Chains A and B, each alone.
Chain A
């Protein structure tokens, strides 16, 4: 149990275009999902917390107009990187939390984004 999927697993896009990444909890309902970014040899950086049916909460320094998050259902959250630039190239990982304590998070396999 506790399987989280992400799509696509990797994507290459041109500078200035937008990319949408999907995160799905496959066998549980996720009241909360999280989006992280990880650069090579660095730890996870939380970008935002997404709650179903409400606006995402962004971490300090993360541009909410650039990284659009939608949590439309209890099993799906999407991250859209708008007007992507090469510096947005990174490993984007989502995680999902079942709606009960004790706060375990299960990670998706990640999406590797390359902006050319």
Chain B
């Protein structure tokens, strides 16, 4: 079992819809959770971080964390074609010098 798992996609949604990206992790000691966006040929960009159970909203993005179920999700409201990218879920366990464990990424395609 991979430490951080994501559906590779591609996930295709129409413009204006809600895109829902999911991520599960295996180690219960995980403390910090991040979502990165990576456009093709570019480096990852941090878009959301979440540390406690519940929802965290930032503009069109909402991160949701459920530690009991060991999953973290990212919702993108009013999806735009410019949101088309690969979204990487990353987890820090707090005991490895800040190292992040990345999922394989979910490719999102927003169709006009």
Contacts and interface: CB of A to CB of B under 8 A. Distances in A.
Given A109-B42, A110-B42, A110-B43, A104 B104 contact: no
A108 B43 CA distance: 7
Interface residues of A, number: 22
29 contacts: A32-B97, A34-B98, A34-B99, A42-B104, A43-B88, A43-B105, A44-B44, A46-B99, A49-B97, A49-B98, A49-B99, A51-B97, A93-B43, A101-B32, A102-B32, A102-B92, A103-B31, A103-B92, A103-B94, A103-B98, A103-B100, A105-B90, A105-B98, A105-B100, A107-B44, A107-B46, A108-B43, A109-B43, A110-B43
Nearest to B91: A103
A93 B100 CA distance: 14
A104 B43 contact: no
Interface residues of B, number: 23
B97 A107 contact: no
Chain A at the B interface: SS class: loop
A67 to B, nearest CB: 17
Interface of A: 2, 32, 34, 42-44, 46, 49, 51, 57, 93, 97, 101-110
